[in-house]
Structures are given as structure tokens and as C-alpha cells.
């Protein structure tokens, strides 16, 4: 079994195990290390994706809010309706970001 990420110290290679480990213990150690590395890569990707979705959602929400203010042209009833649309989009964007926490 090989490592997902080669180690720089050279102590643990795919063909050797730490002193005192049996062959099966060495393979088990490598499997667990590879699982943790893979888990870390997946978690990092999820954090980056959540950040991108959050930034995009915030940017688009700000654009929609400015456009709602412009389109309402001082009419309070139109402003209420347009702000509802902008707020609904903001809630949807927040829901998408929360989905990354699962």
C-alpha cells in the first residue's frame, strides 16, 4: 500500500514500518494515515467551496438590494415588495452555505 502524500522525512515509506510494528500493524497505520489525509483534503475543499458560495451570495445580495432601492424610486410599497425578493435570495444563499456544514 502506498501513501497518498509522500512524507518528507523518508522514515515511513510504502515498504517499511516503524520499528516494533508488525507488517499488519504497519499496513493498518498506513491505511489510517491515508484516511486522515483524504479526510483533510475533503474538509479543506468543502471550506473553500463554502467560502466561495458565501462571497458570491453576499455580492449578489448587495447587488439585488441596490437594484431594489433603485427600482422602487421612493415608492414604499414597491420597496417592500422588491426588498422581499432580495431578502428571499439572501435566505436561499445562506441556506446553501449552511449545507456545507453537514
Residue 43 lies in a domain: yes
Residue 38 lies in a domain: yes
Determine the pLDDT at residue 23. 83
CB 31 within 8 A of CB 1: yes
Residue 83 lies in a domain: yes
Cell numbers given for 21: 510494528
Tens digits of residue pLDDT in 35-87: 999 999 999 999 999 999 999 999 999 999 999 999 999 999 999 999 999 99
Could you tell me which residue, 14 or 67, shows the higher pLDDT? Answer: 67
Distance of CA 8 to the CA centre of its chain: 27
Residue 58 lies in a domain: yes
Distances (CA, A) of 62 to 29, 59, 81: 49, 5, 16
Question: The domain containing residue 54 runs over which residues?
Answer: 23-99
Question: What is the number of domains present in the chain?
Answer: 1
Residue 17 lies in a domain: no
Q: Decide: pTM greater than 0.75.
A: no
Residue 16 lies in a domain: no
Residue 13 lies in a domain: no
**Rounded average pLDDT over 5-10:** 60
Amino acid at each position: 500500500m502506498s501513501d497518498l502524500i509522500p512524507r518528507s522525512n523518508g522514515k515511513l515509506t510504502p515498504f517499511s514500518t516503524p520499528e516494533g510494528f508488525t507488517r499488519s500493524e504497519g499496513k493498518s497505520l498506513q491505511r489510517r494515515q491515508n484516511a486522515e489525509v483524504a479526510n483533510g483534503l475533503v474538509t479543506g475543499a468543502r471550506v473553500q467551496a463554502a467560502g466561495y458560495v458565501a462571497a458570491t451570495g453576499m455580492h449578489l445580495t448587495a447587488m439585488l438590494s441596490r437594484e431594489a432601492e433603485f427600482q422602487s424610486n421612493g415608492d414604499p410599497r414597491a420597496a417592500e415588495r422588491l426588498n422581499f425578493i432580495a431578502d428571499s435570495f439572501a435566505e436561499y444563499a445562506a441556506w446553501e452555505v449552511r449545507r456545507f456544514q453537514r
